[in-house]
């Protein structure tokens, strides 16, 4: 396995591949995404440990969606059981994925700890436990600062874990090494990932604008409120479908036996 450095325009191809693959199996990919969301939501209901448990399950369940995308891209119909692929990969890789989940949960909760220092835990409580969002709360400078600091710190955390579950599952990379390889791969292909993120952001905004425009044409403001949620869910399902392609094109098998670490250290 070695790193494959791709041009910036590949970010557009990743988005296109995700949408095309979703449209090949829209019912399956939508259903699996809803199961993914339901699993995390159910886990979060457990008293005291719910939020941490949902966070710890995120790498494994995301890997399940990537495995489903892999099958759908070849024309196969991904069955619901593919969502638990990480739990059926053998004891060693299951253990590695569990370690990865614990590391992700610890990292995310650490971010929430930093935000709590800034605003006394208001943003962290709203994000992890839920609650009512009020204009007074959102307008507080401490709350806004905590939100922006958390978003800024989440970027490196997400890059650490972007490719890590797939590296653990498909290449047997140890958890800590998978984080390093993921971060460096994202750095080397930063231009493509930036284009990828910008295109998706543009598509999300465009979809919301189209729903709003349609509501205005129909003369029914309520339509926008009703339609926004399902449209957003479908867009999110497409986005998660596209994640697999960012991994597929960033790492390739190397017959020469060169390791990912050796490749990543090449300027």
Model pLDDT for residues 51-67, shown as the tens digit of each residue: 899 999 999 999 999 99
Radius of gyration, alpha carbons of the chain: 20
pLDDT for 265 equals 41
Q: What are phi and psi of 79, to 5 degrees?
A: -80, 160
- Which three-class secondary structure state does DSSP give residue 89? coil
More confident site: 267 or 154:
154
- The per-residue pLDDT for 219 is 81
Q: Which pLDDT score is estimated for 242?
A: 97
Question: Domain residues for 117?
Answer: 2-264
pLDDT band of 266, cuts 50, 70, 90: very low
**217 contacts: CB under 8 Å, gap ≥ 6:** none
d(CA 130, CA 118): 19
Averaged confidence pLDDT in the chain: 90
Q: Which of 147, 180, 174 is nearest to 161 (CA)?
A: 180
Q: How far apart are the first and last CA of the chain?
A: 18
Phi (first) and psi of residue 252, to 5 degrees: -130, 155
Tokens of 42: 């159910």
Query: For the CA atoms of 227, 229, 232, 234, what is the dihedral angle to 10 degrees?
Result: -80
Q: Which residue has the higher pLDDT, 253 or 154?
A: 154
Structure tokens at 252: 């390739």
Name the domain count of the chain: 1
To which H or E segment does residue 63 belong?
A: helix 50-73
pLDDT, position 224: 78
Q: What is the pLDDT of residue 267?
A: 38
CA separation for the pair 173, 18 (Å, rounded): 25
Element (H, E) at 3: strand 2-3
Mean pLDDT of 25-44: 93
Please list the residues that pair with 251 across neighbouring strands.
3
The pLDDT score that the predictor gives to residue 65 is 96
pLDDT tops 80 at residue 257: no
Q: Is 2 helix (H, G, I), strand (E, B) or coil?
A: strand
Least confident of 24-28, 78-82, 133-137, 157-161: 133-137
Give me the pLDDT at residue 260, please: 52
**This prediction's pTM:** 0.88
Q: Is the predicted pLDDT of residue 176 greater than 50, yes or no?
A: yes
């Amino acid at each position: 396995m070695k790193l494959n450095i791709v041009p910036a325009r590949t970010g557009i191809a990743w988005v296109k591949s995700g949408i095309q693959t979703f449209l090949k199996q829209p019912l399956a990919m939508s259903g699996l995404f809803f199961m993914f969301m339901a699993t995390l939501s159910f886990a979060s209901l457990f008293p005291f440990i719910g939020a941490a448990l949902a966070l710890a399950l995120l790498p494994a369940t995301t890997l399940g969606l990537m495995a489903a995308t892999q099958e759908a891209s070849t024309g196969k119909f991904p069955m619901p059981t593919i969502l638990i692929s990480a739990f059926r990969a053998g004891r060693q890789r299951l253990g590695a994925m569990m370690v990865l989940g614990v590391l992700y949960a610890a990292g995310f909760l650490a971010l929430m700890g930093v935000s709590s220092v800034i605003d006394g835990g208001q943003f962290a409580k709203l994000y992890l436990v839920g609650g009512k969002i009020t204009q007074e709360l959102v307008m507080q400078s401490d709350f806004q600062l905590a939100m922006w600091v958390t978003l800024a710190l989440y970027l490196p955390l997400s890059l650490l874990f972007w490719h890590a579950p797939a590296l653990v599952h498909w290449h047997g990379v140890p958890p800590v090494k998978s984080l390093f390889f993921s971060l460096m791969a994202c750095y080397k292909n930063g231009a493509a990932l930036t284009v990828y993120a910008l295109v998706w952001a543009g598509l999300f905004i465009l979809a919301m604008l189209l729903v709003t425009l349609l509501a205005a044409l129909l003369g029914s403001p309520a339509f926008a409120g009703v339609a926004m949620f399902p449209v957003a869910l479908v867009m999110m399902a497409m986005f998660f479908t596209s994640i697999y392609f960012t991994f597929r094109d960033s790492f390739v098998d190397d017959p020469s036996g060169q390791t990912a670490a050796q490749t990543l250290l090449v300027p």
